[in-house]
Structure 1
Amino acid sequence: MIVNLFHALPEIISTKRLTMVRTTLAHSPSLFKIWSDSEVAEYMNIEKFTTVLQAEEMIKAINAEPAACRYTIFLNKEIIGSLGINEINSLDHTIEIGYELAKSFWKKGYMTELLTGFLSEIESYLPYKGVFAKVLPDNSASISLLEKLGFQLENQTEELDLYTKKVCTIFIYKLYFK
């Protein structure tokens, strides 16, 4: 059974320094700035956005999908990224998470803080055994982050990289809840 994740999780999730709010179209201009950065887009497996309309369309698509949800990340009143649930793996009852920050906020400990809080909410509110993240092998920062949080490399697969338009290896890191 697929739970409508958009309704199961809280509207707002707060950590010590940051706030995650369900993503809305009002966030499109700020998220566009992040998603149009080629270094960010490369690790998101998306084509670099060139218009705000693309950000709006992505937000509409995510919000229309019952098995997905996205949160916009705020530092004070500034939007610095997003994170959320991308899909459900019904075979092993896990869910895929995805995340990104604006480049100027990399390596400041924000994503460790965010994922710790987000994973706690997922474990509390959703009936899944764990989570997984797909990571490009050269994304050493994301791999280090996931390993620090207890994720383990479980598998690798080949997928079309929408950024490079080539088939590439993707690592799948998983964390099972206790």
Structure 2
Amino acid sequence: MTDNNNLVFPKLETDRLILKEMLIEDAASIFHIFADEEIMKDYGRFPMKSIEEAESLIAMFDENSKNGKGIRWGILLKEENKIIGTCGYHNWNKRHSRAEIGYELSKDAWRKGYIKEAVKAIIDYGYEIMDLNRIEAVVYPENEASIRSLINHGFMKEGLLEEYAFFRNVYQDLIMFSLLKKNWLKK
């Protein structure tokens, strides 16, 4: 088994973004994003109420990375040197070569193509470095922007998962999307 504590966190770069390890110093930016009700309604959590919650989330992302359960990058806007969101993988099942993708952006970064850039970079990383065969995404049926983004990246809708998750004290329906490596290679 690999000792993930000695691995260097991968830094990815696109034209406008740097995908980097989140540090405690990034807690204020993370709090700004995760304290927003409009963003959190699609994330499956209630909005954060304190900076300590942001620090705990960063620590959880770090722990998951070290334990090989996933990897979560902070999305840094190069021109402003500011974290505008996060993206990455969770529920990484190495035996079956699959992981679930997730992402969110601060509202002031919406509709500027940043998620398109970030998601392409992490899909490439998932197939080339993590050796994934399948990337999954589960999305609220009403989250039209995320659904469009996934379809634009080649994800296929697999179906509705009724009452699939217990988020925000309610059983929620989610739509399952997937992108298989063989289909990614055709792009």
TM-score, L = length of structure 2: 0.86
Within a 5 Å distance, the mapping from 1:1-178 to structure 2 comes to 7=7, 11-65=10-64, 66=67, 67-76=69-78, 77-89=81-93, 92-157=96-161, 158-162=164-168, 165-178=169-182
SS of the residue 2:127 aligns to: helix
The offset of 1:155, in angstroms, is 3.3
- Return the letter of the residue paired with 1:148: N
Unaligned 5+ segments in structure 2 are: 183-187
Instruction: Pick closer, same or farther for the CA change 1:149–1:91 going to 2, 3 Å.
Output: same
Instruction: Pick closer, same or farther for the CA change 1:100–1:152 going to 2, 3 Å.
Output: same
Deviations 1:135-154 (A, max 9, x none): 00000000000001000112
CA distance in 1, matches of 2:24, 2:37: 22
Tell whether the 8 Å contact from 1:89 to 1:96 is kept in structure 2 after alignment.
no
- Return the letter of the residue paired with 2:70: A
Deviations 1:16-58 (A, max 9, x none): 1111101121111111010000011111111100001011111
Q: Percent identity?
A: 26
Tell whether the 8 Å contact from 1:152 to 1:175 is kept in structure 2 after alignment.
yes
TM-score, L = length of structure 1: 0.90
Tell whether the 8 Å contact from 1:62 to 1:69 is kept in structure 2 after alignment.
yes
How many residue pairs get aligned? The number is 175
CA distance in 2, matches of 1:123, 1:91: 15
Question: Quick one: higher RCO (CA 8 Å, sep 6+), 1 or 2?
Answer: 1
Instruction: Pick closer, same or farther for the CA change 1:90–1:122 going to 2, 3 Å.
Output: closer
The offset of 1:6, in angstroms, is 9.5
SS of the residue 1:27 aligns to: helix
Deviations 1:34-90 (A, max 9, x none): 000001111111110000101111111221122122111111201110111111246
CA distance in 2, matches of 1:35, 1:11: 23
CA distance in 2, matches of 1:2, 1:88: 15
Tell whether the 8 Å contact from 1:19 to 1:75 is kept in structure 2 after alignment.
yes
Tell whether the 8 Å contact from 1:5 to 1:69 is kept in structure 2 after alignment.
no
CA distance in 1, matches of 2:96, 2:129: 18
SS of the residue 2:42 aligns to: helix
